[in-house]
A = this chain, B = another copy of it.
């Protein structure tokens, strides 16, 4: 029996995110998470008040991490023209196969948020962050438009069978920013 195990709670959250990407919220189980996290089953209900509590915690962490990576992506961007390139590059990354794992988790979150206002708080904060990031270079309205465009292209790039041409993306971004 292992008593001293700091960060056990963290590990549970981390494994939950991994499993969401693999089997979805629908395929989760306390037992499956506990097994993968190498944690006794009893720990699940000890650290979290049921599955919903765990899910909210996990998705909150996911959103925070995603917001941070969003900020990092734009961290070294100086001029406005660089911002345009950064947006195009971001869309390419999001719609690429490598970014699919995060997309999966994000859509699972969207699904929950569409039904439950509690999760909409998470998505709301997330979107506020990405918008305020864009507002470093663009007016509020334009930032909102760009944010929607990024989301739309990322989704269609990931879920459409027709491949996304980067030139089409770039011209859309340029039209919105008015250049």
Contacts and interface: CB of A to CB of B under 8 A. Distances in A.
Interface of A: 24-26, 100, 103-104, 107-108, 110-115, 120-121, 123-124, 127-128, 141, 144-145, 147-153, 155-156, 158-162, 165, 168, 171-172, 175-176, 178
A16 to B, nearest CB: 14
Contacts of A113: 159
9 contacts: A104-B115, A107-B114, A108-B111, A124-B159, A145-B168, A149-B152, A151-B156, A152-B152, A175-B175
Nearest to A120: B159
A24 B28 CA distance: 14
A127 B162 CA distance: 9
A113 B113 CA distance: 18
Contact of A161 (B104, B112, B120, B150): B120
B156 A155 contact: no
Q: Is the interface of A mostly helix, strand, loop or mixed?
A: helix
B168 A144 contact: yes
A104 B111 contact: yes
Q: Name the 4 nearest CB pairs between A and B, nearest first.
A: A152-B152, A124-B161, A148-B152, A26-B26
A83 to B, nearest CB: 17
A124 B155 contact: no
A149 B169 CA distance: 11
